């Protein structure tokens, strides 16, 4: 316990404002992405453009898929890696122990993620973040070059497996016998997804809290099966975020004009082009019809999404350097300082509105109206965050996370002295 006496959370004055603004921006994107999974079955949100939609609903679905889906969980992952590197650097500079605190921090986040996934919403990403975060310790002292190389390899590995899976699917069409076997495999997968979707529709749309909790447990088991694909992508962005901090680019972006100009004028257009090719190849990624076309569209979409997220970050950093845009964009920072609270709050509010044990508006909000709903909810979160942080040092979930991490209650009032 004596080693804990010199440890305490980062004080508000010590925070990097750019990170908080980026987190606030990422929160908006996360809500725009997740809202479809709050309003309806979660498994209906992962297949790209919904072919059944028409008119304004189809336009909204296409725009969210193209510009939002896959771009903001990667941005949040990038920011998580930045946060790790900032903590590590500050602990080293102060001569404080780090590994034990970081392990406890990850375990607490894992517990929060499990509670979120099992009791509130099964689309949770925190469990994946927590599990992948433990691997970061192995790269605490890695060079910038090592971080970049391992990040690229980690990102490309699941995409390579996806391409291999698609190639197998195409090769299975070579003979009628192989095609029949492959169709049988895909039919079984289709039946499983259809059963899970219908189970979500019944449990979340009309079920009690207990029934919804049982369904969330089933969904969680399915989510763990996808960890082999999602985990490396998240970890790659963690490492890339750590590189941004280690290089000094995020703490002093004005010193890296060429880097951020490249993100804006090269990375974003390239990512958009890859996303466009993916969309033209196969706008609806039907997971029950897997072949080389599907895997190519999926892989290009994921790669394009990662590049677009970096481009978004580059433009936001540029906006924060602008005398005209800096002040409006800083409105995002308080929401970013309370990112965990606001992320959990989005899930809690939306499930209580749309689920059967709440107000029961499941599958009743048209796709086009989901966008203004999400924007309005986020605007309220921004205002609430600004008010809250005038009175308190942390958001409620952040306070709990820090208290359990440091094994002592943290001072909550904004005027309270920082604990030693």
In a 3-state reduction of DSSP, which class is residue 413? strand
Q: Are 329 and 316 in contact (CB under 8 A)?
A: yes
- Is 413 inside any structural domain? no
How many domains does the chain fold into? 1
- 208-222, 276-290, 322-336: least confidently modelled range: 276-290
Q: Is the pLDDT of residue 248 over 80?
A: yes
Distance CA 163, CA 165 (A): 5
Is residue 251, in this structure, part of any structural domain at all?
A: yes
**With pLDDT > 70 as the criterion, what percentage of the chain qualifies?**
95
Q: Please indicate, yes or no, if residue 41 is contained in any of the structural domains.
A: yes
The answer as to whether 90 is a domain residue is yes
For residues 371 and 33, the answer to whether their CB atoms sit within 8 Å is no
Has residue 92 been placed in a domain? Answer: yes
The answer to the question of residue 287 being in a domain is: yes
235 near 154, Cβ under 8 Å?
yes
Percent of the chain's residues with pLDDT above 90: 76
What is the mean predicted confidence (pLDDT) over 63-90? 94
**Range of the structural domain that residue 276 is part of:** 2-406
The pair phi, psi for residue 48, each rounded to 5°, is 80, -145
**pLDDT tens, position by position, 280-296:** 999 998 777 788 999 99
Domain presence at residue 259: yes
pLDDT in tens, 45-73: 777 899 999 999 999 999 999 999 999 99
Q: How confident is the model at residue 15 (pLDDT cuts 50, 70, 90)?
A: low
For residue 419, is pLDDT > 80? no
378-395: pLDDT as tens digits: 999 999 999 999 999 999
**b/e sequence 313-336, b meaning 16+ C-beta within 10 Å:** bbbbbbbbeeeeeeeebbebbbbb
Q: If 0-12 CB within 10 Å is exposed, 13-18 middle and 19+ buried, where does residue 75 land?
A: buried
Domain assignment of residue 289, yes or no: yes
Instruction: Please check whether residue 299 is in contact with residue 159, taking contact to mean a CB–CB distance below 8 angstroms.
Output: yes
């Amino acid at each position: 316990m004596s080693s804990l006496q010199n440890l305490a959370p980062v004080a508000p004055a010590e925070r990097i404002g750019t990170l908080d603004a980026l987190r606030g921006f990422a929160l908006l994107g996360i809500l725009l992405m997740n809202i479809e999974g709050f309003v309806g079955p979660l498994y209906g949100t992962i297949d790209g453009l919904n072919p059944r939609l028409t008119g304004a609903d189809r336009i909204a679905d296409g725009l969210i898929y193209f510009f939002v889906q896959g771009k903001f969980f990667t941005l949040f992952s990038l920011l998580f890696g930045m946060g790790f590197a900032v903590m590590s650097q500050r602990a080293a500079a102060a001569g404080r122990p780090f590994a034990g605190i970081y392990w406890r921090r990850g375990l607490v986040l894992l517990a929060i993620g499990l509670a979120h996934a099992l009791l509130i919403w099964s689309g949770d990403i925190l469990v994946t973040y927590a599990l992948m975060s433990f691997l970061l310790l192995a790269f605490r002292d890695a060079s910038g070059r090592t971080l970049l190389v391992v990040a690229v390899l980690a990102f490309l590995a699941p995409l390579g497996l996806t391409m291999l899976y698609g190639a197998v699917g195409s090769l299975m069409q070579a003979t009628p016998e192989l095609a029949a076997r492959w169709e049988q495999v895909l039919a079984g997968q289709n039946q499983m997804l259809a059963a899970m979707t219908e189970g979500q529709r019944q449990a979340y749309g009309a079920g009690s809290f207990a029934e919804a909790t049982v369904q969330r447990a089933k969904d969680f088991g399915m989510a763990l099966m996808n960890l082999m694909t999602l985990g490396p992508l998240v970890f790659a962005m963690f490492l890339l975020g750590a590189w941004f901090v280690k290089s000094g680019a995020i703490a002093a972006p004005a010193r890296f004009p060429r880097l951020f100009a490249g993100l804006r004028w090269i990375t974003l257009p390239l990512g958009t082009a890859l996303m466009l090719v993916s969309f033209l190849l196969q706008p609806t990624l039907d997971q029950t019809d897997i072949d080389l076309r599907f895997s190519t569209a999926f892989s290009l979409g994921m790669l394009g999404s990662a590049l677009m997220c970096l481009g978004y970050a580059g433009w936001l950093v540029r906006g924060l350097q602008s005398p005209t845009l800096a002040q409006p964009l800083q409105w995002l920072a308080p929401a970013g300082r309370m990112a965990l609270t606001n992320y959990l709050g989005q899930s809690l509010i939306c499930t209580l509105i749309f689920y059967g044990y709440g107000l029961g508006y499941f599958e009743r909000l048209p796709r086009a109206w989901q966008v203004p709903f999400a924007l309005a909810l986020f605007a309220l979160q921004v205002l609430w965050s600004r008010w809250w942080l005038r009175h308190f040092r942390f958001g409620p979930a952040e306070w709990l996370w820090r208290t359990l991490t440091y094994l002592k209650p943290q001072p909550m009032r904004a005027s309270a002295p920082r604990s030693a």
